[in-house]
Structure 1
């Protein structure tokens, strides 16, 4: 009997994981940590740190890093946001798509040339078209000299060595 209970609980746990991942949060954006991380304050006064899914912005010490943070702030700071959670990362941040009004903030940052599509995690193919258009039009970080256009994941990797 004991193994059946354990198996049943395990099945329940596995089935509940997608429900957690698909959770939606709503709150006022109260902090911008960097170009792809913000904090919302929900109606229960809980602060929820959110990593924008499928994109990666320059780190603060990289060229365009502070500008990417300013762009996210202009789009979301002190505004009501809806976060459609996809997962939780190793830092316990909610990873999701962020919407302010009718604006998909993740996509808008890519369109403005403030973010790369995070190829390792991106599932939304429309983000690639937005990035290609931003590159073609040399907007945002795509206007930088070639030597300064280092994807953040490569920049972080080079710093770890």
Structure 2
């Protein structure tokens, strides 16, 4: 029993260490405001979904604005990504650090171009950034009743 417990303990912490790794690469594609593709140091393409946020879909109001915001900050740039996990589509989910040291996930929230994705992240910092953007009526928060992307996707299907 002692060996089984030790083995489970080892696997648990090894998995956490693997899930929270850093990758560096050049951004080669912007799918939308919260999904990019980068070419890593090994010339492998990695699709990255930004952690803790959800931008409007491309066909939604502010969808193309969010995509352009992301492109302006990282397309053809070398970035660092803290990989938090992989999603059900095989994308890596992480925090994107721009060449200037800023956190892209936070910048999208500050600009009012993303929702804090509470289903996956419960950080106070992200909640505060969204609340501040709402109060200042930035980006999509200028609209009377913006539709969250997860609701848009549900009704579009």
Q: TM-score, normalised by structure 1?
A: 0.88
Question: Residue 119 of structure 2 aligns to a residue in which SS?
Answer: coil
Q: Is the aligned partner of 1:139 residue 2:138?
A: yes
Which residue of structure 2 aligns with residue 111 of structure 1?
110
Greater shift in the superposed pair: 104-113 or 40-49 = 40-49
Of residues 146, 151, 156, the one that matches 2:148 is 151
Question: Residue 154 of structure 2 aligns to a residue in which SS?
Answer: helix
Of residues 54, 67, 86, the one that matches 1:69 is 67
Greater shift in the superposed pair: 149-158 or 11-20 = 11-20
Q: 1:5-24 maps to which residues of 2 (within 5 A)? A: 12-24=10-22
Moved over 3 A (4+): 3-15
Deviation per CA, 1:69-102, whole angstroms, max 9, x where unpaired? Answer: 0011111111111100110001111100000131
Deviation per CA, 1:30-65, whole angstroms, max 9, x where unpaired? Answer: 110111000111111111110000000001111111
RMSD between superposed Cα atoms in Å: 1.9
- Which residues of structure 1 form unaligned runs of 5+? none
Which residue of structure 2 aligns with residue 78 of structure 1?
76
Greater shift in the superposed pair: 21-30 or 121-130 = 121-130
Shift of 1:6: 8.4
Q: Is the aligned partner of 1:53 residue 2:51?
A: yes
Q: Is the aligned partner of 1:97 residue 2:109?
A: no
Shift of 1:10: 5.8
Q: TM-score, normalised by structure 2?
A: 0.90
Q: Is the aligned partner of 1:125 residue 2:98?
A: no
- State the aligned residue count: 156
